[in-house]
Structure 1
């Protein structure tokens, strides 16, 4: 009993001494932060001013795992904050992809198309565009339309060229319909920890200028 009392007194004195320096340490003689706990803590209520924000000193993110609040460790977590995904779509027609459902939950992840490529199913890059689907080589092409968008709770992919069809360069008189193209999409999937609010799309008319003198409002949420 006396031993337990001595240990309690020593721990209390250590806390008091550290508190005088503006930092409190539990099971540590050299606290690095205002409260430095070297061990497992338990609480039935926890309030964080800026949850999910990087810390001032360590630049770490907070994440939950196994009902405990801890620093995010990619070697221990079953899923990452940032995930890199290659999506290969084969058997694509000349019209490209209009709406492909990735089945990735839009409430849990943010999907961004990092890069993409159009090629033949045999791996060659002998792919050209027929502007307006007119069958002539007019040295024109539509704008790339490769985006990820949300629909019915999941992320969808659109990968095509506006006003253009994919054609094979190896064909002397290419037909207007093909089904042997491959589209490789390189996606970044960001796991949502905390969503502050939805960010609305922004449209700004520069009025024919270079934009240097244009004044716009700050986007909502930033």
Structure 2
């Protein structure tokens, strides 16, 4: 019992001494802010007084004396909210990429493909498309099919062209089985931090118009 009282008094005196300098530290004897917690926290609610608009000063989400909400800086933290990934896959066949498992947890992250490129393994961009895989230059090509999708709890990537095969532009008679292509994928993985809304697909028939007079219902959760 005496040991518990001694520990409590020590913690109280430490907080009191820090409080006299205008800063309180929990789990640290050298607090850097008004309240500096070195460790995990558990709370039901978090309120910010006049957070204002985000600033470009870096740091974490904090209500500052300037009434602003500082942006999260992934270079200063151990777990980024916005993760930028470049995925380079070599030795791709002419069929392109059909189903590549990134192993990124679909329950914790949202993965979006925001850019991509098709090239040869040697780095050149001498890549063309053979529509219908018929070996004929018919000036036709399929639509790009580059997307991320969820499967078995992780994010998968598809990168190909519909009804078309990748061929080397410099080849007079491109072989049907070509396995010397590189696909660069630029991904954003957004960490699910607070809440998420499961939004169903939206389908709208514009009836041949340009869409300027069409209205769709607002998805639930917004």
Within a 5 Å distance, the mapping from 1:1-222 to structure 2 comes to 27=22, 38-40=34-36, 45-48=43-46, 56-59=51-54, 62=61, 72-222=72-222
User: For the residues of structure 2 that align with 1:81 and 1:169, how far apart are their CA atoms?
Assistant: 41
TM-score (norm 2): 0.72
Unmatched 5+ residue regions in structure 1?
1-7, 12-25, 29-36, 64-69
Contact 1:27 1:39 in 2 (8 A): no
Contact 2:74 2:82 in 1 (8 A): no
User: For the residues of structure 2 that align with 1:165 and 1:43, how far apart are their CA atoms?
Assistant: 53
Structure 1 segments, 4+ long, off by >6 Å, are: 41-44
Compared with structure 1, are the counterparts of its residues 78 and 131 closer, same or farther at alpha carbon in structure 2 (3 Å cutoff)? same
Contact 1:199 1:220 in 2 (8 A): yes
TM-score (norm 1): 0.72
Q: What SS does structure 1 have at the residue aligned with 2:54?
A: coil
Compared with structure 1, are the counterparts of its residues 45 and 123 closer, same or farther at alpha carbon in structure 2 (3 Å cutoff)? closer
Contact 1:200 1:220 in 2 (8 A): no
Q: Deviations over 1:168-190 (max 9, x none)?
A: 11111111211000000001111
Unmatched 5+ residue regions in structure 2?
1-15, 24-32, 63-69
Contact 1:149 1:156 in 2 (8 A): yes
Deviation, 1:197, is: 2.1
